[in-house]
Structure 1
Amino acid sequence: MLCFVISRSKGDVRVDDVEGDVEERRNQVPSYVIMRSTYLGTEGEGYEYVLKLAETCLVSTRTSYLPDEYRDFNPPPTPLTILLLTMPFAQSRTYRHTVLASPPLTFPSTIYPIYSTPTMAELSTCLPLTRDSVIEAHNIIKPHVHLTPVMTNKTLTQLASTPRDPASLVGTPWEGRTPANPTLRLWFKCENLQRIGAFKVRGAFHAIERLKREPGWIENGGKSKGVVTHSSGNHAQALALAARESAIPAHIVMPSVSLPNKIAATRGYGANVIFSGSTSSEREAVAAQVIADTGARLVPPYDHPDIILGQGTMGLELQDQVRELKTDGKGLDAIITPCGGGGMLSGVALSCEGTGIRVFGAEPSFDGADDGRRGFETGKRIESVKSLTIADGLRTPVGEYPWSVIYERNLVSGMYAVTEDEIRSATRLVLERFKLVVEPSAAVPLAVALFNEDFRAMVEKEGGPDGWDLGVVFSGGNVSVDGLAKLFAA
């Protein structure tokens, strides 16, 4: 038997399946253990859906989950045919429906919209995803964020510009290859020195400020109902701070495996913290319950235009700061950023559109966390990730809106991945040689520049003897002393 959980996020309908004994799992985990997700389709922002499963299903379900006005569908639910309604976040607590079925199962593509319920600032009020919009977002958030420094480090630049020892390539995909010999000049954007210790505050403040500008939101009691999000830590802290400074309640859904220092910091900004499972589907389900209970407005961690534009403001600053610091009057050749949900990467890509600056994404390879790289290679977004990489801020799949910028608009030139050991090594180098505290997620772009031979060979080929001036984003520094000790003990 398989247990299917029907859920929806921004109009997407998904079927999450759990292998094994259903009753046993019910006893172990109240919200079930979700192993993988199958994307079924979309019809628009905020819709409810009726999902008709194929008649090959052998189904047992509780139709009492459906509200009275939806119980008389024709044909009605039967052991061979079932109609399931995924409830709107703001209308009902019934946001997931359980189906017990025997495989094989097939799903039709038809999904029927019922009506719309917004979950964040209305898309009609959002700025278009352009460089000009990033500039406007920067003007909005300037009073609320730090202009973080851009720094250089001769030791790290020298390491990046030195061929690796061939022995270090043994056991890697590049074993037997002549090590690349790129010329790189590294410029570090230190968002680890940003408010709340991470770049996420940019998107959070932009989202809150845009939400406050939405017609009718304040007048209809939006401020008192509050905002809600799901995050493993940095977006959680960012939204908690941005909401507090506008006197708005913040409800933060955090995976139970979140780092204690990030949980404590989120609570320290005055947020109400609610725990969930670690997968995106589990986080979204708990967030849906909070919205149903409070009427709060969802501020997603990355998959929304307002978030993307806010994160992109760091790209504008990095470009300007490097031009001012360089003596030759030239700017950057490229920027590399971490990529989890893709809000930062897509925002920085927008900030570089039309400038000639190339943009790259960096991910962990551990346990499938390199979904962006794999999707980039196949041309199809990967919609589910379940990884416990040490780069805990990069455990989420790339969102739809970021993907549209990263891949569909071809604004990102490539995606590269590194191992856990390479991330540890890069983090250690930053601590010991740069004397800066960064979390493992923030060290992933540096690890790519130092250790990914495909990236390094590409820079050698395209940069030639002159090489590249490469902007490297240190995305955050929210790691505890105990966390660092555990990281390096491993």
Structure 2
Amino acid sequence: MSIENTQAILTSHSVTITDIKAAQQRLLGIVHHTPVITSSSVNERTQSQVFFKCENFQRTGAFKFRGAYNALTQLSTEQKKTGVITYSSGNHGQAIALGGKLLNIPTTVVMPEDAPPVKQTATRAYGAEVILYNRQTTNREELTKGLAHERQLTLIPPYDHPHVIAGQGTTALELIQEVGELDLLLVCCGGGGLISGCAIATKALLPNCRVIGVEPELADDATRSFYSKTLQTVHNPNTIADGARTPSLGKITFPLVLEYVDDMVTVSESAIIRTMLFLWERLKIVIEPTGVLAAAALLEGVITAPGAKIGVIISGGNVDLSQIGELLTTRYYSR
């Protein structure tokens, strides 16, 4: 089956709570049931009750393993034998690589040359072939599709795929099953796979819970798309939140965001860094810049909801510790 026909079939499918619950069963015993952490200092600061769903403790250090593994398990025998390819700034690539290793599926990951070294190293360590490209001169989607056609590999994109979206939705499903009612759920947004899946799960279980997406000011394509109702793009945004450097929402995720998400907001680079360091200090856990986007909106006062019960998805923890000094001296950072 050609890539074009496969994409057409995928686009025609919607994602439902049934798909997300089926994904949860598929992932049972494979993914980590990640912890939910609370902090009295955070509750005091926000005047609300906050529950952090810590996907930085997930396998490969991010929520991406949920969607990648769910998609890989549903490939045909022939597709598994031939292998898969994806493009990723790091976390999805690691997830595909580990999933492929567990399922004995050959994997190839197209990554930008400036992807954090820790993510490149981990992806190779899980057994994937890593192909690097220059973000300034190369379109990663076109490069990957060309390689997929040339090598007859199955493309599993990082967010615009119903099986990936369903897998990511298990993050919110787990959170709600553990803590019960929520008034508000805050989720980071790059290509929209996580927020789409989480919003679908949340609206099915808690119809009155508001779902708000958060992205960097420097990569605000999803926010602009949400308000204009027209798909917007951003070219190679220079944000420290590398997981949110996607050019736009996808053909599948864009309509899902419009249907299920209640609002979209942005946070500054300095807010991202301040929040990351604050959570390192107070929660005693390592979180990457993209991973703190949702928390930054709450802790920096972009979103206020006194007295509310709030879920916050911490999406990942794959930060390159050797670059912390650089982050602290960046022009974006201020206490």
- Scaled by the length of structure 1, the TM-score of the pair is 0.64
Aligned to 1:406: 257
Structure 2 residue aligned with 1:394, among 235, 238, 244?
Answer: 244
Mapped pair 1:123 → 2:10: yes
Aligned to 1:423: 272
Structure 1 residue aligned with 2:308, among 453, 457, 468?
Answer: 468
Mapped pair 1:362 → 2:214: yes
Structure 2 residue aligned with 1:486, among 316, 326, 332?
Answer: 326
Change (3 A) 1:332 1:281: farther
Q: Equivalent residue of 1:471, what SS? A: strand
The offset of 1:392, in angstroms, is 0.6
Provide Cα deviations, 1:138-195, integer angstroms capped at 9, x if missing partner: 111112100001010111222223xxxxxxxxxxxxxxxxxxxxxx211000000000
Change (3 A) 1:343 1:279: farther
Q: Residue type matched to 2:255 in 1?
A: S
Question: Whole-Å Cα distance in 1 between the matches of residues 80 and 56 of structure 2?
Answer: 30
Provide Cα deviations, 1:21-48, integer angstroms capped at 9, x if missing partner: xxxxxxxxxxxxxxxxxxxxxxxxx9xx
Q: Residue type matched to 1:129 in 2?
A: V
Question: Whole-Å Cα distance in 1 between the matches of residues 270 and 111 of structure 2?
Answer: 27
Provide Cα deviations, 1:432-470, integer angstroms capped at 9, x if missing partner: 1111100000111111002244x22xx35xxxxxx2111
Question: Whose RCO is larger (CA < 8 A, sep 6+)?
Answer: 2
Provide Cα deviations, 1:322-353, integer angstroms capped at 9, x if missing partner: 13xxxxxxx21111010000000000001012
**Contact 2:107–2:129 (CA under 8 A) maintained in structure 1:** yes
Structure in which a larger fraction of residues adopt helix: 2
Q: Following superposition of structure 1 onto structure 2, how do residues 102-251 of structure 1 map, counting pairs within 5 Å?
A: 116-118=4-6, 123=10, 128-161=14-47, 184-211=48-75, 217-218=76-77, 221-251=78-108
Structure 1 residue aligned with 2:228, among 378, 383, 387?
Answer: 378
The offset of 1:280, in angstroms, is 11
Q: Residue type matched to 2:10 in 1?
A: L
Aligned to 2:288: 439
Mapped pair 1:261 → 2:118: yes
Aligned to 2:182: 332
**Contact 1:341–1:402 (CA under 8 A) maintained in structure 2:** yes
The offset of 1:384, in angstroms, is 4.0
Structure in which a larger fraction of residues adopt strand: 1
Structure 2 residue aligned with 1:450, among 290, 295, 299?
Answer: 299
Provide Cα deviations, 1:80-131, integer angstroms capped at 9, x if missing partner: xxxxxxxx76xxxxxxxxxxxxxxxxxxxxxxxxxx54259x539x974111
Change (3 A) 1:384 1:420: closer
Question: Whole-Å Cα distance in 1 between the matches of residues 155 and 137 of structure 2?
Answer: 14
Q: Equivalent residue of 1:436, what SS? A: coil
Question: Whole-Å Cα distance in 1 between the matches of residues 252 and 95 of structure 2?
Answer: 20
Aligned to 1:270: 127
Change (3 A) 1:372 1:381: same
Q: Equivalent residue of 2:212, what SS? A: strand
Question: Whole-Å Cα distance in 2 between the matches of residues 484 and 469 of structure 1?
Answer: 32
Question: Whole-Å Cα distance in 2 between the matches of residues 385 and 334 of structure 1?
Answer: 31
Provide Cα deviations, 1:51-92, integer angstroms capped at 9, x if missing partner: xxxxxxxxxxxxxxxxxxxxxxxxxxxxxxxxxxxxx76xxx
Question: Whole-Å Cα distance in 2 between the matches of residues 353 and 130 of structure 1?
Answer: 10
Question: Whole-Å Cα distance in 2 between the matches of residues 200 and 263 of structure 1?
Answer: 15
Q: Equivalent residue of 1:159, what SS? A: helix
Question: Whole-Å Cα distance in 2 between the matches of residues 295 and 383 of structure 1?
Answer: 29
Q: Equivalent residue of 1:210, what SS? A: coil
Gap regions ≥5 residues in structure 2:
331-335
Q: Equivalent residue of 1:270, what SS? A: coil
Structure 1 vs Structure 2 CA RMSD: 2.0
Gap regions ≥5 residues in structure 1:
1-45, 47-87, 90-115, 162-183, 212-216, 324-330, 461-466
Change (3 A) 1:241 1:279: farther
- Scaled by the length of structure 2, the TM-score of the pair is 0.93
Q: Equivalent residue of 1:155, what SS? A: helix
Q: Equivalent residue of 2:28, what SS? A: helix
Q: Looking at CA atoms only, which structure, 1 or 2, has the larger radius of gyration?
A: 1
Question: Whole-Å Cα distance in 2 between the matches of residues 483 and 440 of structure 1?
Answer: 12
4+ aligned runs moved over 3 Å, structure 1: none
Question: Whole-Å Cα distance in 2 between the matches of residues 279 and 322 of structure 1?
Answer: 44
Q: Following superposition of structure 1 onto structure 2, how do residues 346-357 of structure 1 map, counting pairs within 5 Å?
A: 346-354=196-204, 355=206, 356-357=208-209
**Contact 1:137–1:309 (CA under 8 A) maintained in structure 2:** yes
Question: Whole-Å Cα distance in 2 between the matches of residues 426 and 477 of structure 1?
Answer: 13
Question: Whole-Å Cα distance in 2 between the matches of residues 391 and 242 of structure 1?
Answer: 24
Question: Whole-Å Cα distance in 2 between the matches of residues 434 and 245 of structure 1?
Answer: 31
**Contact 2:220–2:234 (CA under 8 A) maintained in structure 1:** no
**Contact 1:416–1:452 (CA under 8 A) maintained in structure 2:** no
Question: Whole-Å Cα distance in 2 between the matches of residues 189 and 385 of structure 1?
Answer: 30
Question: Whole-Å Cα distance in 2 between the matches of residues 361 and 153 of structure 1?
Answer: 22
Q: Equivalent residue of 1:252, what SS? A: strand
Q: Residue type matched to 1:372 in 2?
A: A
The offset of 1:224, in angstroms, is 2.7
Q: Residue type matched to 1:423 in 2?
A: I
